[in-house]
Chains A and B, each alone.
Chain A
Amino acid sequence: MPIAFKDVSHVYSAGTPYEYRALDHVDLEIQEGKMTAVVGQTGSGKSTLVQHLNALLLPTEGTVYILDRTIDANKKPKQLKSLRGDVGLVFQFPEYQLFEETVLKDTAFGPKNFGCTVEEAEKRAKQALQLTGIGPEYYERSPLELSGGQKRRVAIAGILAMDPRVLVLDEPTAGLDPAGTASMMKLFRRLNQELHKTVLIVTHDMEQVYRYCDEVIVVHDGKIRHQESSAEFFKDAHLCNEMGVLPPSLIRLEEMMREFGFAVPQGIVTEEQLAQWIAQEVKNHG
């Protein structure tokens, strides 16, 4: 069963002068097993949208279907805890959620809450920490002493240790250096491809979306503006331009070459392919 939103709206502070409609009649389907990017300007409603996936926010109108559960506006939701174990949500700047004395304890906190024994939880925590690249030498350190990037890794490991079926990440690479960003994105892609987790990732970085994601959802003003496969979305630069974001550098290069009169064919999606095509052209026109 895929994840689906049917006519979902979310209104903050309803009935006060501060009332704000952050989601406006959203219809959406997300396939299981895919890696999907949620993009859109700041304030467009991305975080509001993803917080519906583990029922941290409940729809004020409409219905959310997720992993055989139905969350209806006007109905008191049940089985919230088991849903939160199945849908792991990593918040924006998750390093602010660390609180235990040691890295290992903090990472094991999630699985323990979901009923694992201490041994089982620590075993899972160690696996998760290994995935995110935090070595055993850090297990007994206080999470508060780590660098910003390391804290982020520990926090993400804390969610991975819960072994969720769906992994939702709200701007997980914001503020990381390029190398950190790349290794983080590779990890999410690995979780998606090798462990078959459904991954949903909110990001502003088109380069990463282009490189790693299967699907793109564009949120604009609380509505879904586009939902397309990544290949379709990045066929040319016009959708990126329409959104006011910089297209991936490869797309920009192709567009520029076309402007200068090169007949770059559609469907070139990696640097190697483009280099090969250029080499071929140079040889042909020798």
Chain B
Amino acid sequence: MGSIALGRYIPLDSVVHKMDPRAKIMAMLIVLIAVFFPSGWIGYAVLFAAASLMILLSKLSVGFIWRAMRPMLIMLVFLLVINALVVHTGPVLFSIGSFSVYLDAVLQTLYIAVRLLLMIMITTCLTATTKPLDMTLGIEDLLKPFEKIHVPAHEIAMLISIALRFIPDLIDETQRIMKAQESRGVDLQEGKLKEKIQAILSLIVPLFVSAFQRAEDLANAMEARGYMPGEPRTRYKVLKMAGRDYILLACALITAVGIGVLAWAV
């Protein structure tokens, strides 16, 4: 479980880690939109440079980005195969018997691969540098204006933070139950289909039982301490935008607008 890189918080000491989560979320959204503009290779080069700069500033390693990207590779290979079968435009790259692969098939796959890489780089800049709880505070604040149209901003944020809070616990619990059942002779790797189904049942049932148990305990503990959804609450941690946060937002905006103009001009 220690090898999952995508979406994981990495505790480092960098400027990006210190930035306001609201600024980071907004900047990420703005730049993500820019990725979807058809701005051609120049646009992508600019975005790549911008994302690389952010990663450099957050002191993350290239290896980490690579590990975040790796699960996507299978999907890309699959995509390449499909494109090779379907796309029949552009010059022929090479032929195997009567089957030819066209340049456009490769180009289109590459196009998607680059976009995917950019998206992963940009989201990683946010998720790897922002503590999950800060992230939910940021989301809550950004959703505040929508309370007017009855979006339950606080409840959504609370739901997200509780879910995030329980992910490590549930992973631990899963591993514990797996070990307990393996001690009873469950073989999760091998076995016939019927045995496999039993093995999975022996994991899922206890996992659900304990998840419901936890949820109930937590609900009781929150109520016992006077938590009421919808009531006004004060906050232990108050977010404050600093100069660097405005600079980040400005840079994101400039990049996005620049890319937009480029896409329009092309």
Contact = CB atoms under 8 A, between A and B. Distances in A.
A97 B209 contact: no
A97 B201 contact: no
Interface in A93-135: 94, 96-99, 109-110, 113-114
Contacts of B187: 81, 113
B176 A113 contact: no
B2 A96 contact: no
Given A13-B2, A144-B209, A96 B184 contact: no
A28 B11 CA distance: 38
B191 to A, nearest CB: 9
Contacts of A56: 179, 182-183
A15 to B, nearest CB: 9
A54 B184 CA distance: 11
Contacts of A16: 2
Contacts of B180: 91, 94, 96-97
Interface string B1-44: 01000000001000000000000000000000000000000000
B206 interface: yes
Interface string A160-204: 001000000000000000000000000000000000000000000
Contacts of A98: 206
A40 interface: no
B184 A159 contact: yes
Interface string B140-179: 0000000000000000000000000000000001001101
Given A81-B185, A85-B185, A96 B209 contact: yes
Interface string B189-226: 00000000000011001100110000000000000000
A113 B206 contact: no
B185 A162 contact: yes
Nearest to A56: B179
A60 interface: no
Contacts of A90: 183
